[in-house]
Structure 1
Amino acid sequence: MPQSAEKTLDHAPLFCEPEYRQMLAKKKLKFECPHPDQVVSDQREFTKTWEYREKNLARQALVVNPAKACQPLGAVFAAAGFERTISFVHGSQGCVAYYRSHLSRHFKEPSSVVSSSMTEDAAVFGGLKNMVDGLANTYKLYSPKMIAVSTTCMAEVIGDDLHGFIENAKSEGSVPRDFDVPFAHTPAFVGSHVDGY
């Protein structure tokens, strides 16, 4: 196994390892009831036709899943597009569990998202300590190229200053001074995942 306590791989490189490729192929065959390759290929080609286009554009109603309407989810999804980037959400663990669950269902594989694990004391006194400790742990455990920080409702309501917190974390040695830690204020009580993205 390429994974150990000293070497923790993110999901993208981890699932490229041979034993995981074999495991996922067996899972697909035995449990996912896949369609034959020819059926998938035929459907893919059908989606490129004018007939499909006309059927698709003829819809009169659209169902929107309101569970997706959350700015931090969009920010986490955007960060997933950058190589070896881990999302760090400054907020509670419950919110981050939802993002991981949603993205795991979307990508059909586990998705890594880190939380600063803010609790009641951080809600009163601010989450600086959580940010400093969380960035240090994320950097040591995952060895990412970049850590993308976003916020949840709790951090936004109390007004945590992400830029200041990240600068303090770098001053305390949580991550190197020249390490990329982009951030976005993503209050979930306004907008949607589209705004967060």
Structure 2
Amino acid sequence: MYAYPLHLHFASISATPKINVTDANGRVVMTATKTLLSNKEEIKVTANGQLFYTILSQESRITDIPSNWDVIAANGQKLGVVDDDFYTEDAANYVKNRAVATGLNMLKDHFVNERALKMYWLKNSAGVQIGLIAPDKKSFSLQQLPLADFTRKIPFFFRFITPSYYITLGDRKVMFLQKQRTLMTDSYKLESNGQFTAEEERLLIPSVLLTVLYERQQLKALYEN
């Protein structure tokens, strides 16, 4: 298992999105690169120059909007599925932890465009929901910004928003992802409480990488008028 916290970095402007992941010791432990030439959304995750994971959409990006991704190990084993969703009520019913469920129920009251708010279901290889990645409602508030009303008029202002996400397995909150406020790079800090197995980590990490790659797109949609 990795030495947490992990730090995820990628350039704010890049033709090919590429995430470098470093551990608590500053060592690069993996790199995730989105493939642009595939007819499906495809993310290759490598470690030490070797393929580690492939995150592959079930739908064609040419004819559909991908919303389900298979997480596949280097040996071809399907580790699970990541399924994006907009309906926080379903998540609240799924989560048994009262504090987490209450936060999910309140999410849609705090957004400019609630229909654009994304969360991700984590499913095992049999398609059974085992967890989720969902945003912390307070972290999306415009009021976190100095001079919020003025800042919103600046092009690409949404880059100054610093969302955070919690990652759960069942009713256990096992990880917390926080975007850092930076200018030329997108940086995220992934913290862990260690309450998961190495096997569970194999699905958790690719799922977080997928969330990070699509997070910027979500922010833009969330605050569009």
TM surpasses 0.5: no
Bigger RCO (CA 8 Å, 6+ sep): 1
Say which structure is richer in strand: 2
Rg (Cα) greater in structure:
1
Taking structure 2 as the reference length, the TM-score comes to 0.24
Question: Which protein has the bigger helix share?
Answer: 1
